[in-house]
Amino acid sequence: MVTLAQSMTGDHFGRPCLVLANSADAGGLGKAAALGIPTAVVDHRPFGKDRAAFEAELVKPILASGADIVCLAGFMRVLTEGFVRHFEGHMLNIHPSLLPKYKGLHTHARAIEAGDAEAGCTVHEVTPRLDDGPILGQARVPVHADDTADSLAARVLVEEHKLYPAVLRRFAAGVKDPVFLPN
């Protein structure tokens, strides 16, 4: 989140206007506040299994912030079709695999278990289907013979910090051609 926010300077068409979390303990909140970015928390727990009610509250600070683009980063909740449709075409997500491979969780372990030669990350538009929207960019890293899920995740994270800002810069300027970073 910090790298993404710090990338929005100069001639960038976007500016960070809100960091929103579903837990007051989210590390990004303090970092955002230190950068002067407004923050908000909508805790999902009081809503129990009522995802629609939670998301109705989640929409409010986003709309109040005036955000044109919603960038998901570390938001580990599956969003309903209603929420996604509200922001469709204006919501991005970063996923730690080379989509369409390994949608969902445990992507690094799955890549290692499959014997993949490379892994990486993908920025995509969010659609109602999980990790299934149009791909806007990918970055690749080699999978080493001695990799663990954690060591692979650490190398992929370095690429995430390069890829997401590059994709957001283009997306905010109206360019949806995919970005493919060299490894």
pLDDT tens, residue by residue, 78-97: 999 999 999 999 999 999 99
What HEC string does 145-165 produce?
CCCCHHHHHHHHHHHHHHHHH
Residue 51 annotated as part of some ligand binding site: yes
Residue 93 annotated as part of some ligand binding site: yes
Per-residue pLDDT averaged across 54-60, rounded?
Answer: 97
| Domains detected in the chain | 2-170 (3.40.50.170)
Q: Is 86 a catalytic residue?
A: no
Query: Closest Cα to residue 162, out of 120, 111, 117?
Result: 120
pTM, full prediction: 0.95
- pLDDT > 90 fraction of the chain, expressed in percent and rounded: 96
For the cut 90, the answer to whether the pLDDT of residue 44 exceeds it is: yes
For the cut 80, the answer to whether the pLDDT of residue 171 exceeds it is: yes
Rg of the chain over CA atoms, in angstroms?
A: 16
For the cut 90, the answer to whether the pLDDT of residue 75 exceeds it is: no
| 3-state class (DSSP) for residue 141 | strand
- List the catalytic residue out of 95, 106, 124, 144: 95
Per-residue pLDDT averaged across 107-133, rounded?
Answer: 98
**Who's near 83: CB < 8 A, 6+ residues apart?**
55, 58, 59
CA distance 154 to 134: 25
Q: Across the strands, what pairs with 70?
A: 91
Query: Closest Cα to residue 97, out of 121, 72, 130?
Result: 121
